Structure 1
Amino acid sequence: MREIVHLQAGQCGNQIGAKFWEVISDEHGIDPTGVYHGDSDLQLDRINVYYNEASGGKYVPRAVLVDLEPGTMDSVRSGPFGQVFRPDNFVFISPHGRCQTLWWSPIMPPSLSISWLRTLMRPTALTMRRCMTSASVH
C-alpha cells in the first residue's frame, strides 16, 4: 500500500491544492464534510492513499497546508471542501499582518525573510512528521 502526504505551500500551491481536493474527493465519492456518499465500491478502493479514516466514518485528507499569512488559509477553509481538512494541519505565520507586501519589497532585509521561513519550517516539519506517522500506522 502506498500512502501520500500532500504538502501545499503558498497562495498558488494552496489554491491549486484546494481544487485538487475537490476533484479527488468527487472521484472517491467524498462529500465536503468528509463522508463517503459514492455509488461504487471501486471509489473506496485505495482511498487511503490520500485519506485517513477518522471516527464516524469520515475521511480526512492527508494534507499539510502552509503559507506565510492566514488569508489563503481562510480562503481554503471557507471554500467548498474547507471543512474536510484537519484544523491543526494549517501552518502559517503573520508577521505584522503585512507579510505578503513586505516579502517582495526591496526594503525587506534578507535576514528577516530568512527568519520568517525558519519560523515556518519547524511547525511545518512537525505537522508533516505527524501526518507521516499516522499514514504508516494504518
Structure 2
Amino acid sequence: FWEIISEEHGIDPTGVYRGTSDLQLERISVYYNEASVATAENGGKYVPRAILLDLEPGTMDAVRSGAYGQLFRPDNFVFGQSGAGNNWAKGHYTEGAELVDAVLDVVRKECENCDCLQGFQLTHSLGGGTGSGMGTLLISKIREEYPDRIMNTYSVVPSPKVSDTVVEPYNAVLSIHQLVENTDETYCIDNEALYDICYRTLKVPNPTYGDLNHLVSLTMSGVTT
C-alpha cells in the first residue's frame, strides 16, 4: 500500500520527494508528515503517518530490510516477542493486552501531530491471532479515546479453500462481532476471490502473496483517491 501511495505522490523509498508535478504534493499531508523542507537540490522529506504492529519481531525485520524499510519512523514499529499462536484470546486478552498501551502511546503522538484528524485506517487479517485478537482490541481502545473519528478497516477474511490453520473461522467470528460494534466502515477482503481475479482476469498462473497484496493495495488507494 505504501509503495503505491508513495509512487502516486512521487516519493522515493527513502522518503524524499522526487515528483515531476505540483499536483503530486496536493493533499500529501493526508498520509504523510513533512520531516524536512525542500531545498534547491532535494525535494522535502516525508514520513508516512503509519504504525506497524505485530506480536512477533520477524515481520518487522522483514519490513525494515525491504525496499521501503527506511520510509517509516523507527519509533512507529511496535512489536512483542511471543506471537499470538493463531489464538484470538492471546491477541485480545493476554499478549495483545500487554502491548496495546505502547501502541496507544504511538497513536496519541501521531494524532497530536495532525492539524485535523479525520480518522483511523487499520489493515489486518481475521484468520490469525494478532490481526484478529489484538486488532479488534486496538480498535475498541481507539474508539474509546476518539469516539467521533472515522474507524475504517481492511479486513482479510478467511475462506475454506485458502486456509493456513484450522482455527481461522473461530478467530474471524470473534472478530466480526467487535467490528460490527466499533467500526464505521469495514472492507472485507477474501483471499479466494483475489486468487480468482489473478487466475481469471489477470491470467497470472501462480499468484504470490505479493500479487494478492498488490491487488488489495490498489483497492485501498482507490478508496482514498
Letter in 1 for 2:23: L
Question: Quick check: 1:22–1:80 contact (8 Å CA) kept in 2?
Answer: no
* Residue 113 (structure 1) shift: 6.7
- The one of 116, 123, 127 equivalent to 2:102 is 123
2:67 maps to 1:80: yes
Structure 1 or 2, whichever has the larger Rg, is: 2
- The one of 60, 68, 71 equivalent to 2:58 is 71
1:34 is matched with which residue?
15
C-alpha RMSD of the superposition = 2.0
Q: Percent identity?
A: 57
Output the TM-score relative to the length of structure 2.
0.45
1:104 is matched with which residue?
86
Unaligned stretches of 5+ in structure 2? 38-43, 117-225
Unaligned stretches of 5+ in structure 1? 1-19
1:5 is matched with which residue?
none
2:96 maps to 1:114: no
* Higher relative contact order (CA closer than 8 Å, sequence separation 6+): 1
2:3 is matched with which residue?
22
Letter in 1 for 2:60: M
Structure 1: distance between partners of 2:8 and 2:56: 31
> Which segments of structure 1 move beyond 4 Å, counting only runs of 4 or more?
110-113
2:24 maps to 1:43: yes
Structure 2: distance between partners of 1:25 and 1:68: 27
Letter in 2 for 1:70: P
